[in-house]
Each structure stands twice: as C-alpha cells, then as structure tokens.
Amino acid sequence: MLNNSLVALDRAHLVHPVASYRQHERNGVRVITSAKGATVFDAAGRPLIDGFAGLWCVNAGYGHESIVEAAARQMRELPYATAYFGLGSESAIRLAAELAERAPGDLNHVYFTLGGSDAVDTTVRLIRYYQTVRGKPEKDQFISIEQGYHGSSTVGAGLTAIPIFHAHFGAPFDWQHKIPSAYPYRNPVGTDDAAIIAASLQALKAKVEAVGGPERVAAFYAEPIQGSGGVIVPPRGWMKAMRDLCAALDILFVADEVITGFGRTGPLFASTEDDIVPDLMTVAKGLTSGYVPMGAVFLSDKVYDTIADGAGNAAVGHGTTYSAHPVSAAVGLEVLRLYEDGLLDNGRRAGARLMKGLNGLGDHPLVGEVRGRGMLAAVELVTDKAAKTPLPAAADTARRIFDRAWNQGLVIRAFGNGILGYAPPLCCTDEEIDAIVERTRLVLDETLDDPDVR
C-alpha cells in the first residue's frame, strides 16, 4: 500500500537523473527500503545483491555503524562551517591532509566539492586560470576521449562523450575535442597492447595539431578505466604513455578517478597502479562511500603554486557553500580508516574472485568479452562472437537485462548496447561474489532465449 502511493507520488513529482521520463512514468519507481553489507531490500522486503554498489559508490557496503556515528558526532558538534573567509573545520582539514599524504606524488592540495561533476567543473575553471596567469591564455582547448564520462555539468557534459549527454543540450562547446577510445575489444588496430597505445598517442598528437598545436591545448582528460562508457580497460602502460606525452607537450593531464578511486581497482588510487602522477586528479563516490555527498580535486604543487602566485592578493573566484563540508569530511575520514582496516584487502581478494568467476562465463554463446580490474568489471554481449555483433539496440536490451537480473535478486548496470557492468561493494563475501556470477549466468541464459535478441 505504502509502495503504491510512493509509486504514484514519484510519477507525479520526482524527476529522475538520466532517465526516459515517459518510460519511467510507465514503469514506475522501484523503491529500495533498506540495505546491509552488500544487500539491498526492495519494498516487498526481498533481498538483492547490489552488484553495482549503488552507482559505483558504496565501496564500504551499507550499514556501517561507525560511519553513521562519525556523521552524527560531527552533526552534533558542528553541522556546518564555511571554508570561505579564511574559516575552516577540523574534519575537512584533517581529511585534506590524510588524502594528500596518500595521493600520488606531489598532489598535495585538495579542493572539496559535492560530487564528481563539480569536481570536473572545478578542474576546467582552475586549468583556465592556471594557463592564463602563467601567461598562456591561448591554451584554452580541452581534449578528452570517446566513450569517456566526466559528469553532467554544463561544461563537464561536453568533456563527456556519450551521445545522450550532448543531444539537445548544445554540448559540446567548440573548445572541447575528442580522440578515439583505446577500447581493446573494438580497436581498429587490433588487440595488441603496443599497437593500441601507439594509435592513442598518434591520435592525441594529431588532435593537438588539428586544434592549433600544443600552444592552444590546456589539458587532456582520461579515466584510468572508462566507466560509464562501458567499463573499457585500456592496456597496461596506456595511462603512462598518454601522461608522458602530455608532459612533453606542456598539456596538463587530468586523471578522472571518480569511479576508480578508493579501492575500486585495488589500491586507493588507480593512478598509483598505472605508475603516474597526474597534474590534477578528481575523485568522489568512494571518498565517502556514498553515505553523504562529497568529491575532491587534487592539485599538484606546480598547478597550485602557479595559481596562488598568479592570483597574488586577489581571491580565486571559485567556490560553493558546501565545499569542505564538515559532516562529509567526518564521513570521509571514517571511510578512509575502514579502507585501510581491511576493506581494500577484502576488495582485492573479492575482485580476483569476481574476475575469475566472470571469466568462467566466457564459454556462454552471448559473451564476447569479459574485462575488468579489481572490483570493476564488464561482460560485453554479442550475438556473433567472430563478428563481435552487438545485441540489437531495438530490443530494449539494457532494460530487459536489468529486469532479468533484478528478478534473480541481483542489481547490475546494463549499458545500452548489451554490456553488463559490475562494481560491487568491496566488503563482498566469497558467497556473494559467487552468487553474482551464478545469477549472471541465469540472466545470460534468459537473454539467449529472448526471440528479439537472436
């Protein structure tokens, strides 16, 4: 009864992110009522394994009393403090320091945001500022990658390269450019790592020349693994090669670790595994494990000092009311403690088991490729393995796959073109990982029986 009235209220009043509004009205909302560990419960009290950690964010899993306690303690003591006017709060200062200590290289300066989109937005603003105050205002062109996702702010949506974020929005801006994705499964140069890396380097050099040379290019954006584009894993060495080319061309390199940060691929930051120090790095999601909103931008000493010296006594006009929010920061500190108190280790173990289990599905007639790193994985479906034919878009593939998984007691991401995405909480037990894999096999079998798919 309660659920029926919620469905009606939702239909009438709640506008959902990245949804077909009309289709959502027809389908009605599915209300999640509670959660514990890696399990969420629907309105009927039915448990489902959350194989996607909410929206790849609840890395610690649900129901950690110590996180709730940290937030409650901070709310009682000091629910809000602005970081304007030279003021600050202990939790935000401590979190910035703890993060800087663990971040790659000289990424020593942390600007806190509310999530990933405004973190990306912040990088664009600060990069323009940086290039201008160092006397290179003509370095105002930005390059990112096809299938990349960098949020849905007015500016970030244009760095994002997924069609629905552009259509009818006037995106991208004419200073936002793309190069092809490394996408090993579908790269025209084949599957050889060295050939893929060489092709990406060539594509970036060519794009830089096409927009007027290095003296016009401000920055290049890359995700260590392209998440929303379909969990696309570039070859080992790809990030380092791209990073080194950017350094050689005097182009700032931004690693967007909004998904990959905080244990998703194993270590605290994927950049460490990739052996790079970006000039700027964005994080969100796992920073607070989704319990409260927060993101961050890490700035290298070079970027921070150039902006600081360039501004002199003028204020750098970028900020929002909730930057460095003390409650979010208190949650971030506790979540960080949990990562280092066994969660990262468990995530590594569980991630190896997940990859092994999903790889075991490779013999299924629909599975074209299994890929991933740590607790971030994808199964790409095809109707013809040799020709790598994607599932027919007309078959409402993603929706049906999502529904089949839901009915099996599993939440996964189903990307439009028949890619199943996995990002379970790092706290998953062996039994939960095995259930994710077993239920996926059932979903694949049902999909194979779907007459619209063949």
> Looking at the chain, how many residues does it have?
454
Contact by Cβ (8 Å): 284, 295: yes
Q: Which helix (H) or strand (E) holds 7?
A: helix 2-13
Q: Following CA atoms 97, 260, 111, 294 in sequence, which dihedral angle do they give, to the nearest 10 degrees?
A: -100
Candidates 51, 172, 227, 234: give the one binding ligand PMP (CB under 6 A).
Answer: 227
Of the candidates 213, 299, 210, 289, the residue with the CA atom closest to the CA atom of residue 252: 299
Candidates 110, 120, 405, 423: give the one binding ligand PMP (CB under 6 A).
Answer: 120
Stretch that binds ligand PMP, among 101-109, 221-229, 328-336, 397-405 (CB under 6 A): 221-229
Near ligand PMP in 285-324, by CB under 6 A: 295
Stretch that binds ligand PMP, among 86-94, 143-151, 234-242, 404-412 (CB under 6 A): 143-151
Residue closer to ligand PMP, measured from CB, 142 or 149 = 149
In a 10 Å sphere around its CB, with 0-12 CB exposed, 13-18 middle and 19+ buried, how is residue 18 labelled? exposed
Q: How many residues touch ligand PMP (CB under 6 A)?
A: 15
The token pair that represents 143 in the structure block: 């390059």
Near ligand PMP in 259-288, by CB under 6 A: 259, 284
Residue closer to ligand PMP, measured from CB, 223 or 279 = 223
Q: What CA–CA distance (Å, rounded) separates 7 from 389? A: 37
Stretch that binds ligand PMP, among 70-78, 220-228, 305-313, 397-405 (CB under 6 A): 220-228
Q: What CA–CA distance (Å, rounded) separates 452 from 454? A: 6
Phi/psi for 35 (5° steps) reads -160, 150
Stretch that binds ligand PMP, among 146-154, 338-346, 354-362, 386-394 (CB under 6 A): 146-154
Residue closer to ligand PMP, measured from CB, 149 or 291 = 149
Distance of CA 182 to the CA centre of its chain: 17
The side-by-side arrangement of strands in the sheet containing 410-411 is 32-36, 39-42, 47-50, 410-411
Residue closer to ligand PMP, measured from CB, 224 or 357 = 224
The token pair that represents 47 in the structure block: 């448990």
Check residue 187 for interaction with ligand PMP (CB under 6 A). Answer: no
Contact by Cβ (8 Å): 117, 298: no
Q: In sequence order, what are the beta bridge partners of 370?
A: 379
Residue closer to ligand PMP, measured from CB, 223 or 334 = 223
Q: What CA–CA distance (Å, rounded) separates 323 from 217? A: 29
Near ligand PMP in 88-117, by CB under 6 A: 115-117
Q: Smallest distance, Å, CB 454 to ligand PMP? A: 32
Candidates 51, 54, 151, 326: give the one binding ligand PMP (CB under 6 A).
Answer: 151
Q: What CA–CA distance (Å, rounded) separates 291 from 346? A: 20
Check residue 439 for interaction with ligand PMP (CB under 6 A). Answer: no
Residue closer to ligand PMP, measured from CB, 116 or 347 = 116
Of the candidates 382, 365, 362, 123, the residue with the CA atom closest to the CA atom of residue 230: 382
Candidates 258, 276, 343, 412: give the one binding ligand PMP (CB under 6 A).
Answer: 258
424: helix, coil or strand?
Answer: coil
Q: Smallest distance, Å, CB 292 to ligand PMP? A: 12
Candidates 64, 150, 264, 371: give the one binding ligand PMP (CB under 6 A).
Answer: 150
Residue closer to ligand PMP, measured from CB, 277 or 281 = 281
Q: What CA–CA distance (Å, rounded) separates 302 from 430? A: 44
410-411 vs 389-390, strand pairing mode: unpaired
Residue closer to ligand PMP, measured from CB, 242 or 382 = 242
Stretch that binds ligand PMP, among 144-152, 212-220, 235-243, 427-435 (CB under 6 A): 144-152
Site string for ligand PMP, 365-384 (x = CB under 6 A): --------------------
Q: Smallest distance, Å, CB 149 to ligand PMP? A: 5
Q: Say whether the peptide bond before residue 172 is cis (omega within 30 degrees of 0).
A: yes
413: helix, coil or strand?
Answer: strand
Site of interaction with ligand PMP (CB under 6 A): 115-117, 120, 149-151, 223, 227-228, 256, 258-259, 284, 295
